[in-house]
Chains A and B, each alone.
Chain A
Amino acid sequence: MSTSTIATRPTIAVFKFSSCDGCQLSLLDCEDELLGVVGAVQISEFKELTRAVVEGPYDVSFVEGSITTPDDVERIKAIRQASSLLVTIGACATSGGIQALRNYADVGDFTTAVYAHPEYINTLAQSTGIADHVRVDFELRGCPIDRYQLLEVITATLSGRKPVVPGHTVCQQCKGRGTVCVMVAHGTPCLGPVTKAGCGALCPAVDRGCYGCFGPSDSANTSSLARQLNALGTSRIDVSRLFRTFNAGAPAFREESLRNDSPETGG
């Protein structure tokens, strides 16, 4: 590699907020491409990989995790300010993650349930996605993200084009794969019709219903699916649970879970 290319290598940073580390691990899981990717960029900060830290600004920041503390709010603003492009990776960063289940409860009750001394816990009442706080240039969905989608985002951003990721649903991806429909054939509850594609329709391929870990697809008709799930014998409260997992904070899933969260309300 010539000196001039080294000088112009884009600076990349990976930051973590509240999360399981699985999405940044997806980058390390690109075993065949990893050394090529890190050779093409200059990594300014990526705690899971390196102890070296180079101050910003950054050409591209990848952000994993949700905002759950007052400190997080300040930190993400600083990261945004230092980044030309900010890409969120995964369900926590896009919709608050599984920890957004606190948004349905009193966080004080949660703290008391887990900690003997809740007064030492410094946490926000809600777990929220990054876009609730700062401008986000691109969102990569999934719990976890798909590593091939991540590679596409990296390649696209480095070459200055828009990443190509499918906008359709898991249901369409599943049909494309030729998997027998678990809902039609076996009556298994499946969120495939309202979930954004990207995983490769993994769950129906192992005879289970999609559980929505890539979050709602564009203009997802969740109510129609909820009615069908009821018709197949899934109780309203279980429909609510189905929508209330790893993307519990995504508006479409949140609203549908609220419409179904008691046997009496709604219709």
Chain B
Amino acid sequence: MTHQRPADSRTVHVEGLARVEGEGSLLVEVRDGTVETVELEIFEPPRFFEAFLQGRRHTEPPDITARICGICPVAYQTSACLAIEDACGVSVTDQIAALRRLLYCGEWIQSHALHIHFLHAPDFFGCQDAVELAGLDLAAVQRGLEIKKVGNHLMEVVGGRAIHPVNVRVGGFYKAPSREELGALVEPLRRALDTALTSAQWVAGFEFPEIEIDYRFVSLRHPDYYAIESGRVVSSEGLDVDAKGISDLVVEDHVARSNALHARLGGQDMYLTGPLSRYALNYDQLTPLARETATAAGLGTVCNNPFKSITVRAVELVYACEEALRLIEAYEPPDPPAVAVPGRAGIGYGASEAPRGLLFHRYELDSDGLIRSARIVPPTSQNLLCMEDDLRRVAQANLSMPDEELGWLCEQTVRNYDPCISCATHFLDVTVERR
């Protein structure tokens, strides 16, 4: 962190953002008492996924794109499967779709548990990390570990592995788990649900900076249940389109002076994706217990305070545990575990809700089923403009803070988004700068 005076004109530079996934830094420049520049700098190097997917078989994107992110591989696998199936004109059976949703619940559980307890909560206690937090509240950190473990276990049973699951394929799964294998998860999931309720109570008691932002919310919405693994894309302004529709609408500017590629709806409007959007647009589809948890935590039907995203995640964590239990209860092993998806020429689109927000893919296939072009738009790319906007507001409202404190608050503002910089990077304009 650099310190420059006078206080009216200064630069706050947080190098090496911690407790986020990937590598980035942020810069806030203040001149004459006004925040002039806010830049999230990304120095995560590009990995060229869209480029090297060209010429690969249509069966390969689930395994390959999983490697974009070690924290949300199922999101990549699911969006990829949906897009390829769309291109090939194939729909999976209800049983396969339900198993996909169950696997995705596992990812939400582990990712949300990690973010709530390890990446986000320490900020509210002025702790450097969850280890220091454990010194103050060991039980809270242990709760995070317990819940996360159950999420990972669910991913192992359904996906074959927690990080980069091996059991997912275009058309479904290689092998369907047995009822007994899933049945063994019921008790741990019930415990995780209880633990998640305690954690929701815990985070509700945090002290939150007061800020309300009138976001343009964008998320999936499914006709039957709280959107996770599929649905149409809706917004707080009445948008209602399919995966193709959102892919056509979202324009990403490659701006010369910015380190980040900016996603805008219709090339103009910034928008928010992630827990706050899902919650605002799908509140009615939460379970009674999840809604009760939200009310008890002081949330209304919409949450406009980005710092309270931790509370919304805790509500979603409760929901994901309950939903996993419901899906296991209703489980019928899909037989066969996958539908055939022969490659053909076509263009397909797929969208799902990664724990940190909307993720959509588009693939164009040739007549041999080889990929001609790929487009992957991760949540963090879509949220970059909102993140910078939040930073500007938070910094402006807290200029009286010393640099060190303001820098930390800005870091926390970025962590509100649970950003995944590795994900964002393959679409970002990257310049490597280490100061």
Chain A contact residues, CB within 8 Å of chain B: 16-26, 28-29, 31-32, 34-35, 38, 43, 47-53, 68-72, 75, 97-99, 101-102, 105, 107, 109-111, 113-117, 120-123, 143-144, 199, 202-203, 205-208, 211, 213, 238, 241, 245-246
Contact = CB atoms under 8 A, between A and B. Distances in A.
A21 B48 contact: no
Given A68-B45, A114-B46, A206 B71 contact: no
Interface of B: 16-23, 43-52, 54, 56-57, 60, 63-64, 67-71, 73, 114, 118, 128-132, 134, 141-142, 145-146, 148-149, 152, 160-164, 166-167, 169, 173-175, 254, 256, 411, 422, 426-427, 429-432, 434
A114 B256 contact: no
A20 B422 contact: yes
16 contacts: A16-B22, A16-B23, A22-B164, A24-B70, A28-B148, A29-B163, A31-B148, A31-B149, A38-B131, A48-B21, A49-B129, A52-B128, A101-B48, A143-B164, A202-B166, A241-B56
Contacts of B18: 47-52
B164 A51 contact: no
Contacts of B132: 50, 52
B207 to A, nearest CB: 19
Contacts of B22: 16, 21
Contacts of A144: 70, 163-164
Given A51-B411, A207-B174, A22 B71 contact: yes
B12 to A, nearest CB: 15
- Dominant secondary structure at the B interface: loop
Given A19-B422, A123-B430, 15 more contacts: A16-B22, A23-B70, A28-B118, A32-B149, A48-B21, A49-B129, A51-B128, A51-B411, A52-B132, A68-B46, A113-B48, A117-B256, A144-B70, A208-B167, A245-B64
A202 B429 CA distance: 37
A143 B254 contact: no
Contacts of A70: 432
Nearest to B433: A71
Contact of B45 (A18, A20, A23, A113): A18
A122 B162 CA distance: 33
Nearest to A49: B129
A109 B51 contact: yes
A20 B63 contact: no
A110 B48 contact: yes
Contacts of A25: 70-71, 163
Q: Which of B23, B47, B146, B149: most chain A Cβ within 10 A?
A: B47
Contacts of B146: 31
Contacts of A29: 148, 152, 162-163
Given A49-B129, A49-B130, A117 B70 contact: no
Given A109-B51, A206-B174, A116 B71 contact: no
Contacts of A111: 46, 48, 51
B163 A26 contact: yes
Nearest to B130: A49
Contacts of A75: 434
Q: Which of B21, B149, B175, B426: most chain A Cβ within 10 A?
A: B21
B68 A115 contact: no
B431 to A, nearest CB: 6
Given A20-B68, A48-B19, A72 B163 contact: no
Nearest to B15: A53
B131 A43 contact: yes
Contact of A202 (B54, B161, B430): B161
B46 A238 contact: no
Contacts of A68: 45-47
Contact of B70 (A20, A116, A122, A208): A20
B432 A114 contact: no
Contact of A21 (B63, B254, B422): B422
A121 B42 CA distance: 12
Contacts of A20: 67-70, 73, 422
Nearest to A43: B131
Q: Which of A23, A48, A52, A53: most chain B Cβ within 10 A?
A: A48
Contacts of B21: 21, 48
A38 B118 CA distance: 14
A241 B60 contact: yes
Nearest to A91: B67
A144 B161 CA distance: 10
Contact of A206 (B60, B67, B141, B175): B175
Contacts of A34: 145
A35 to B, nearest CB: 6
B323 to A, nearest CB: 22
